[in-house]
Amino acid sequence: MPEAALHLGSGKVRELYALDDERLLLVTTDRISTFDVILPTEVPDKGRVLTGLSAFWFSRTRHIVPNHLLALRDDGRSLECRRLEMLPVEIVVRGYLSGSGWHDYRATGSVCGHPLPHGLRESDRLPEPIVTPATKAVSGHDENIDARTAASLVGARRWAEAEAVALALYRFGAAHAESRGIVLADTKFELGIDRTGTLVLGDEALTPDSSRFWPAAAYTPGRPQPSYDKQFVRDYCESLGWDKTAPGPDIPAAVVTGTRARYVEAFELLTELAFDDYLADPQVVLR
Ligand code: PZK
């Protein structure tokens, strides 16, 4: 990052900088979190896998919605982005019943105001994908809200537009992933508005950090599914009997290597590119 850039904020995994009044730099690190805790051990190339996947999807979904990507830097882990006015809601699309969706369904039979059929099991495919908005609560944990509440936060017309865009993005991503042996169970989008008032896709898109990717070959409803990327890390952490509060444990080299391989495998399946080609020329994902 040669030029002066003002650090705007840190996520668990990403760093955000201002380049100027109109441009941001979104840097994805090799940090990994599990059970909501950042671990002390990094996974080499994880940042470049996530950045490359995001850039890949941005380039292939422009027919659905414009996005904030201006440039992919040659480090492979940094995106120059247009600065947007971000909507104050996260937009999750769920095609399968998992995580907080499964939790809410078990308690109420509904998810974010969507009544669902009786008798669904954990990880079951839904009859149709549903849009489940959430707000960032002060606790740092997202809080599911219903469409009425989302519409009151962004306006009814804007909410209708955001819902339609998010559904179309999910359907596109899920169909592509399915053809490559990956179930896209759910995914989170962050949308913003540009200076002309146009709705624009921001943040990262359709990555394993913003989505649940499940290996299709192992899909078995009725229980939680193994995660495509983080399962080795989760299994190792579970084997320690760690209480899931910070600081997390160091991760052994073999678990790191296996996890890196899973990220690279997801990248290669979804992009149909060799990861080495991406390292040699990051722009390859945009073509
Ligand atoms: C924006 N975040 C999340 C927080 C991170 C990321 N295009 C944009 N315009 C204006 N703001 C944002 C974006 C994007 N993307 C994203 N916060 C603001 C965030 C902390 C670290 F890397």
- pLDDT recorded at residue 2: 56
Query: Quick one: what percent of the chain has pLDDT higher than 90?
Result: 97
134-182 pLDDT per residue, tens: 998 777 789 999 999 999 999 999 999 999 999 999 999 999 999 999 9
**Which whole-number Å values give the CA distances from 195 to 29, 60, 208, in the listed order?**
29, 23, 30
Measured from the CA of 68, which atom of ligand 1 is nearest? Answer: 7
Q: From the CA of 91, how far away is ligand 1's center (Å)?
A: 15
pLDDT band with cut points at 50, 70 and 90 for residue 93: very high
Q: What are the tokens at 215?
A: 């290996």
Q: From the CA of 9, how far away is ligand 1's center (Å)?
A: 8
Residues in contact with 164: Cβ distance below 8 Å, sequence separation at least 6, in sequence order: none
Dmax over CA atoms of the chain, in Å, equals: 57
| Mutational test site, ligand 1, from 65, 86, 198, 201, max ligand atoms within 8 Å of CB | 86
Output the average pLDDT for the chain.
97
Give the bridge partners for 186, in sequence order: 94, 212
Measured from the CA of 13, which atom of ligand 1 is nearest? Answer: 22
- pLDDT recorded at residue 4: 83
Return phi, psi of residue 31, to 5°. -65, 150
CA 98, CA 82: separation in Å to the nearest integer?
33
DSSP code per residue over 254-265: HHHHHHHHHHHH
- pLDDT recorded at residue 1: 59
Q: From the CA of 16, how far away is ligand 1's center (Å)?
A: 6
14-70 pLDDT per residue, tens: 999 999 999 999 999 999 999 999 999 999 999 999 999 999 999 999 999 999 999
Ligand 1: list residues with CB < 6 Å: 9-11, 14-16, 24, 26, 68, 81-84, 86, 192, 202-203
| Mutational test site, ligand 1, from 26, 67, 90, max ligand atoms within 8 Å of CB | 26
Return phi, psi of residue 72, to 5°. -100, 120
